[in-house]
């Protein structure tokens, strides 16, 4: 890749927009390679346990390839696989650890939100009477949603690059990779939330068209009918295609974030090759 993301020997910290645009350029310039890997990864999902591990490992593989391009040390897919494949089960462990942690945090935040909302309802109800109950119920719902969204996005921002250290760094296991993500992101949570929000907005039209629009038609169809089965199959295919198209972008985004966070916190500590003389157009 010939886009210059930084000067040799020093990577400049990136803004929210620059992180997203760098991921887009990576995605566009290696579209065929990344999409092929994403398609293989999504097919592996159909195989329990081992297939899930392969999906997680291929996700890390895409991030490793993207990171190599960013530091002007590109690898072939085969060379990158030789580093990633021996860590197959570690990638699965990272996925399960983050998934279970997010689930527990969700239940915890829902409980806190419910308690706070309930107390608010009791207080306002006793003060304002019947009208207060309606107001309190509305506020409680809004408060609970806000607590859930802010809490989950905050935690996700701490673990967003959890698999990237495992894919890139030497002598690290799954648990250490998760801890590494938590350490690197601790001073940049709000900026990462901004990156995630912008990236979500960028991919939202594709998600709506391929993942959600076909499902809307199922609402008015009779379950079990032939047309319902056809539309359901089309919806599944659309979701699969959407996942394949979006996955490489997010993995490239994680690679850019990882590089940027290491640059900010550690000065990266890598010798970079001279970038190519021509700019990417």
| Per-residue pLDDT tens digits for 81-120 | 999 999 999 999 999 999 999 999 999 988 887 787 777 7
pLDDT value, residue 255? 96
Written as six digits, the tokens of 123 are: 């207080």
Contact 69, 26 (CB under 8 A): yes
The tokens for 80 are 């990158």
| Polymer length of the chain | 281
Threshold 0.85, pTM exceeds: no
What residues have CB less than 8 Å from 74, skipping those under 6 apart? 1, 65, 68
How many CB atoms are located within 10 Å of the residue 141 CB? Answer: 12
The pLDDT score that the predictor gives to residue 74 is 94
What are phi and psi for residue 223, nearest 5 degrees?
-60, 135
Per-residue pLDDT at 70 exceeds 70: yes
Task: Confirm if 238 and 214 have CB atoms less than 8 A apart.
Answer: yes
pLDDT at 169 > cutoff 90: yes
pLDDT at 14: 75
| 8 Å CB contact between 152 and 106 | yes
For the stretch 120-146, pLDDT in tens is 777 767 776 666 667 777 777 787 888
């Amino acid at each position: 890749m010939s886009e210059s993301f930084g000067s040799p020997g020093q990577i400049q910290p990136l803004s929210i927009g620059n992180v997203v645009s760098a991921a887009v350029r990576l995605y566009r310039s290696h579209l065929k390679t990344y999409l092929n890997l994403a398609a293989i990864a999504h097919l592996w999902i159909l195989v329990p346990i081992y297939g899930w591990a392969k999906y997680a490992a291929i996700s890390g593989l895409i991030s490793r390839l993207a990171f190599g391009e960013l530091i002007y040390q590109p690898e072939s897919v085969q060379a990158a696989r030789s580093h990633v494949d021996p860590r197959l089960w570690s990638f699965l462990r990272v996925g399960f650890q983050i998934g279970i942690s997010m689930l527990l945090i969700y239940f915890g935040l829902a409980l806190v939100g419910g308690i706070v909302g309930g107390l608010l309802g009791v207080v306002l109800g006793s003060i304002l009477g019947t009208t207060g109950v309606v107001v309190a119920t509305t506020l409680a719902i809004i408060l609970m949603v806000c607590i859930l969204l802010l809490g989950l996005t905050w935690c996700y921002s701490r673990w967003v690059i959890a698999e990237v250290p495992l894919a890139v760094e030497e002598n690290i296991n799954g648990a250490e990779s998760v801890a590494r993500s938590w350490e690197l992101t601790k001073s940049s949570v709000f900026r990462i939330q901004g990156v995630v929000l912008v990236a979500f907005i960028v991919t939202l039209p594709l998600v709506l068209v391929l993942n959600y629009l076909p499902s809307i038609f199922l609402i008015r169809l009779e379950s079990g009918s032939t047309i319902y089965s056809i539309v359901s199959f089309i919806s599944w295919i659309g979701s699969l295609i959407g996942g394949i198209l979006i996955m490489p972008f997010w993995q490239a985004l994680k690679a850019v974030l990882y590089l940027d966070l290491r640059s900010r916190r550690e000065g990266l500590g890598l010798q970079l090759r001279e970038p190519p003389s021509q700019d990417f157009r």
